[in-house]
């Protein structure tokens, strides 16, 4: 089984959802730049203050801030690692390549219409970062996290307008990573439409 996995794919393609399942079933450690940045915003750190305006606009946080943050996290990570939301630019991918070898870049392919539906109806846990969907993956008790009991919320960047900006940013800045990892012989694309469990079966096969 591969030990370093980069999860690629547009916003809402299921990177966080599939990453969580890989952690529960196979003991991966997931490093999610989105979760780290939201935590920094919540705690009002210097990084959080700088990142918030980019996140709210659906733009990428500048490379130097992200690469600095991830260098420390990657250095501290032990065992099998999933990178969710990093790298997102060629510059970030080069920085990652200097620090560790990537075994597989798993690209979740989902069409735009489905992405907008998924994101605008997503609900997230502010405490344990679990994600739900009002229709496809609803919590057992409305508005409450199944895992830790915290009150669920809607992310500030999960509005339709911001989602469209995030998709544009993805196409301009992150899609080139598909060719980048393909050129290195590391890319595997998985069709990301279907039930969460159906996609997980495909993901498991891809990482063997
Ligand atoms: P980040 O948090 O990484 O957001 P994202 O990449 O836009 O991805 P999402 O979290 O929106 O979606 P996902 O693919 O994880 O899908 P999920 O599993 O939740 O980044 C946020 C912001 O931070 C960025 O815009 C940027 O500003 C900044 N940032 C982060 N990393 C950065 C970096 N490296 N460089 C610069 N800036 C950075 O699923 C979505 C929904 O669909 C959920 O409701 C889920 O329940 C549902 N769902 C999942 N799978 C299925 C399925 N198969 N069928 C039906 N519903 C499903």
pLDDT in tens, 160-194: 999 999 999 999 999 999 999 999 999 999 999 99
pLDDT at 83 over 90: yes
Question: What is the three-class DSSP state of 1?
Answer: coil
Report the share of the chain in percent with pLDDT over 90. 96
Average pLDDT over the chain reads: 96
**SS3 per residue for 41-104:** HHCCCHHHHHHHHHHHHCCCCCHHHHHHHHHHHHHHCCCCEEEECCCCCHHHHHHHHHHCCCCE
Q: Is the pLDDT of residue 146 over 90?
A: yes
CB 190 within 8 A of CB 206: yes
pLDDT tops 90 at residue 79: no
Say if CB 88 and CB 60 are below 8 A apart: yes
* Angle value at C-alpha 13, between 11 and 19, nearest 5 degrees: 105
Give me the numbers of helices (H) and strands (E) for the chain, helices first please: 9, 7
Residue 191 has which token pair? 């069709």
pLDDT digits 0-9 by tens, 1-58: 889 999 999 999 999 999 999 999 999 999 999 999 999 999 999 999 999 999 999 9
Q: Are strands 81-84 and 4-8 parallel, antiparallel or unpaired?
A: parallel
State how far Cα 43 lies from the chain centre. Answer: 20
Structure tokens at 59: 């733009």
Longest dimension (CA), the chain: 46
User: pLDDT-derived band of residue 78, with 50, 70 and 90 as boundaries?
Assistant: confident
pLDDT category of residue 96 using cuts at 50, 70 and 90: very high
Task: Please give the average per-residue pLDDT across 134-163, as a whole number.
Answer: 95
Q: Average the pLDDT over 150-163 and give the result.
A: 94
**Residue identifier of the C-alpha nearest atom 49 of ligand 1:** 14
For residues 155 and 25, what is the distance between their CA atoms, to the nearest angstrom?
Answer: 27
Closest ligand 1 atom, residue 87 Cα: 34
Domains detected in the chain: 4-110+173-207 (3.40.50.300)
For atom 5 of ligand 1, the residue with the nearest CA is 11
Catalytic residues: 15, 88, 122, 155, 166
110 pocket-lining for ligand 1 (C-beta < 6 Å) = no
């Amino acid at each position: 089984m591969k030990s370093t996995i980069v999860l690629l794919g547009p916003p809402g393609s299921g990177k966080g959802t599939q990453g969580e399942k890989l952690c529960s079933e196979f003991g991966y450690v997931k490093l999610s730049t989105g979760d780290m940045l939201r935590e920094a915003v919540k705690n009002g750190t210097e990084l959080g203050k700088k990142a918030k305006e980019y996140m709210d606009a659906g733009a990428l946080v500048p490379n130097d801030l992200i690469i600095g943050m991830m260098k420390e996290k990657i250095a501290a990570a032990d065992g099998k690692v999933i990178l969710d939301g990093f790298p997102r630019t060629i510059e970030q991918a080069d920085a990652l390549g200097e620090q560790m070898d990537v075994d597989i870049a798993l690209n979740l392919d989902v069409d735009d219409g489905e992405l907008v539906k998924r994101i605008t109806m997503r609900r997230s846990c502010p405490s344990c970062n679990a994600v739900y969907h009002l229709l496809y993956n609803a919590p057992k008790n409305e508005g409450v996290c199944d895992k830790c009991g915290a009150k669920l919320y809607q992310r500030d960047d999960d509005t339709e307008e911001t989602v469209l900006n995030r998709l544009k940013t993805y196409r301009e800045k992150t899609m080139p990573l598909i060719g980048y990892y393909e050129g290195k012989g590391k890319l595997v694309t998985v069709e990301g439409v279907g039930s969460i469990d159906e996609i997980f079966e495909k993901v498991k096969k891809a990482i063997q």
